[in-house]
Amino acid sequence: MICRTSRIGVLGLAVSAMLVAGSTAQAGLLSANSGGAMPGFTGTQLFDVNFSGFTVSANVDFAVFAPGAFGVAFPGEDTSGGTDYVYAYQIHNLDSDVTKLTVGLDGDEALGTIGFIGDAGLLDPSTDLYVGVPPTSSAWDFNPRLVINQSSAVLFFTSKGAPELHSATVSAGWFNSHDLPSPLPEPASLTLLALGAGVMCLGKRRRS
């Protein structure tokens, strides 16, 4: 297995008969190694919609690994050295041409590295990066696109933050969104959010 944590990923391998066979064998790379993931934060989410002739149809396997657990599931691939939670995803394209996966962020999650774990028959993203300052999402782009019945590399990022659920989007000409695991903001940010909510409630009471 090859781990990439740079901002620019390696272009996907050309699809051939042998590669398709390899893709079938490796399609469940994340799910096959998610036994040590956190209960309640592992599974598969279907992204499926048809809009004006544009189709999104893909399964996304997801798994969150507590600090130290990712290195057990994927030896040598934990870029945090076992200190961070690892958020991992793998796309299995069913009936569309997938171009991107984005996972939402709140803007203060003590983020670490972002990258992917490639293997034979899996398509590596062409870019892997945090979007925005502060980041509002983690994103993996595919150029070439994921074609029907093709699976992506295992996509991941690390964070000190424990998991919650946040909106994520699969794009393929059109887009479809569902919740996937993402880190909670740092405690200081949660306090600010709570204070903001309190101020809004107080303002509503005064107006009523």
> Would the pTM count as exceeding 0.85?
no
Of the two residues 109 and 6, the one the predictor is more confident about is 109
Sort strands 2-4 and 54-65 into parallel, antiparallel or unpaired.
Answer: unpaired
CA pair distance 97, 171, nearest whole angstrom: 8
Residue given tokens 């944590």 in the structure block: 5
pLDDT over 80 (residue 84): yes
Q: What is residue 203's three-state secondary structure?
A: helix
pLDDT over 60 (residue 93): yes
- What is the overall mean pLDDT for the chain? 84
CA pair distance 181, 164, nearest whole angstrom: 6
pLDDT over 70 (residue 4): no
pLDDT per residue as tens digits for the range 99-113 = 999 999 998 899 999
Phi, psi dihedral angles at 34 (to 5 degrees): -100, 15
Q: Which amino acid is at 43?
A: G
- In degrees, rounded to 5, the angle at the alpha carbon of residue 118 between the alpha carbons of residues 139 and 47 is 45
Using only C-alpha atoms, what is the Rg of the chain?
18
pLDDT confidence of 27, banded at 50, 70, 90? confident
* Residue 53 confidence (pLDDT): 85
* Residue 3 confidence (pLDDT): 53
pLDDT per residue as tens digits for the range 127-182 = 999 999 999 999 999 999 999 999 999 999 999 999 999 999 999 989 999 999 99
Q: What is residue 165's three-state secondary structure?
A: strand
Handedness of CA 129, 107, 167, 177 (dihedral sign): negative
CA pair distance 189, 117, nearest whole angstrom: 31
Instruction: Work out the percent of the chain whose per-residue pLDDT is above 90.
Output: 72
Domain-by-domain residue ranges, the chain? 2-207
Cβ neighbors of 48 (< 8 A, separation 6 or more) are 56, 57, 58, 94, 176
